[in-house]
Amino acid sequence: MKHITSFLCIVFLYASVIGVYAADAPLIPAPLNALLPKITSGMTRDDIKSVLSAAYPKLEPQDGPWSGRSGYIGFHLDEQFSVMFSANMDAKEHAVVSTNALISVFDRMQKLRLDITHYYWNDKAPQK
């Protein structure tokens, strides 16, 4: 009985530490957060790869679903995180990041997906 109680205490302590870590961890890892503003519409897979590889040298391509001329350009960043950018085909039939792209950050360990998108309160995008 003494060993079972000790084991349960250790399991509970470990679970508590993991829970505290998850609550304190940022939704977007700092290296990715620093690089996201550098990803702009019209960028190709290779353009994105050159930006992200500064912080994630072992990143691997990982596309999302495509339907017709639109889909997702994605990358497996490390053992925990992946990122996808909504994309469309340009005039030369290259996949490029969409204007006002939807960005999805996946945390596989926490089983969490964070979607980032532009949303204009007045239903009208600012004129450039």
Q: For residue 89, how far is the Cα from the chain centroid?
A: 21
Q: Which pLDDT belongs to residue 7?
A: 42
Distance CA 118, CA 96 (A): 17
CATH 3.30.1490 is right for the domain spanning 28-116: no
Tokens of 47: 């353009």
Render pLDDT for 95-110 as a digit per residue (tens, 0 to 9).
Answer: 999 998 899 999 999 9
Residues near 25 by beta carbon (within 8 Å), at least 6 away in sequence = 110
C-alpha dist (Å) from residue 114 to 25, 66, 73, 117, 122 = 14, 20, 16, 10, 24
pTM as predicted:
0.75
Distance CA 8, CA 75 (A): 39
**Higher pLDDT residue, 66 or 120?**
66
Tokens of 63: 């596309």
Q: Are 42 and 96 in contact (CB under 8 A)?
A: yes
Within 10 A of 86 (CB to CB), how many other CB atoms are there? 20
Render pLDDT for 11-47 as a digit per residue (tens, 0 to 9).
Answer: 454 554 444 445 677 888 999 999 999 999 999 999 9
Render pLDDT for 33-91 as a digit per residue (tens, 0 to 9).
Answer: 999 999 999 999 999 999 999 999 999 999 888 898 999 999 999 999 999 999 999 99
Tokens of 21: 């870590």
Pairing status of strand 60-61 against strand 70-76: antiparallel
C-alpha Rg value of the chain to the nearest Å:
19
